Amino acid sequence: MDSGCDIARGLRKKLAAGIAALVCGALIAPVARAQDGSDAPSGVWIGIEAGPVWFSRNDVRIPGDTGTEFDMLDLTGSGPDAFLRLNAGWDINDRHGLRLVLAPLEVSGTGRLSRDTDFAGTTFPAGPTEGTYEFSTYKLTYRYTFVDRDAWRWRVGFTGLVRDASVELQQGDLRARDDDFGFVPLLHLYGEYAFADRWNLIFDFDGLAGGPGRAFDIALQLTYDLNRRWRVGGGYRTIEGGVDTGSVYNFAWLHYAGITLDYRL
């Protein structure tokens, strides 16, 4: 399990990468504005969200119909671990917009399997075991603004989520890994309330349930507009979901405490 120093180092690295991306955008933007002779913010923005993440559930059984169920948190711990999400958006006009989210996540640690465990075609005896869990997601959202008046803005749309996930167990030379790469369609809802000068309360939802699984990504954030281009904030995000099929059973619940920094080009 990660020590506090490891978490701090991981968070610093992720923040440095995210801030570097923001700085690049901030440096490029004046050049683009100089070409069109305008200093007004465009409809394009970039941002980062970073902080600690905890797990309250991570149950695994692979294959889903014949494997042995175990708690991945017994190996990786519940956290906290560092996370980073990169965001970019384009408000095409007053009604239509696109958003891209890149959210890599991987945690690892060493713990104990409480019993012999059949995992991905390999039997691991009870005892000390290294575990690695990856759940990286990449999302593209189309959203339509159906309310934009007074202090309120509401958007609705749909999100295409690409899931790049894997679970790996290792005991010395004994090792097995299962990869899960797929596409998940989600519904999208976004609300923003400007309750005071420069202050905004944001609700952000992607989710859908049905068939063999479900996925929910819900955030509540408080933001402050530093000026026309820069916005800072923070809040809570939770991701919950999983799948139950013959090949994979995995349900996880994650909790994020994130700070945000956005820049409008």
Query: Is residue 8 over pLDDT 50?
Result: no
First to last CA, the chain: 40
Query: Is residue 7 over pLDDT 50?
Result: no
Q: Which domain holds residue 252?
A: 4-264
Which of 48, 106, 104 is CA-nearest to residue 234?
48
pLDDT of residue 1: 41
What DSSP designation does 125 have?
P
Query: How does pLDDT run across 30-89, given as a tens digit for each residue?
Result: 544 445 555 666 789 999 999 999 999 999 999 999 999 999 999 999 999 999 999 999
Which of 96-100, 116-120, 181-185 shows the lowest per-residue confidence on average (mean pLDDT)?
A: 181-185
Task: Domain count for the chain, please give it.
Answer: 1
Q: Where does the pLDDT of residue 24 fall: very low under 50, low under 70, confident under 90, or very high at 90 and above?
A: low
Query: What is the CATH number for 42?
Result: 2.40.128.90
Region of 146 please: left (phi>0), alpha (psi -120 to 50) or beta. alpha
Mean pLDDT of the chain: 89
pLDDT of residue 212: 87
Contact yes or no for 171/127 (Cβ under 8 A): yes
Determine the average pLDDT of the residues in 16-42.
54
Contact yes or no for 265/25 (Cβ under 8 A): yes
Query: How does pLDDT run across 178-214, given as a tens digit for each residue?
Result: 999 889 999 999 999 999 999 999 999 999 998 889 9
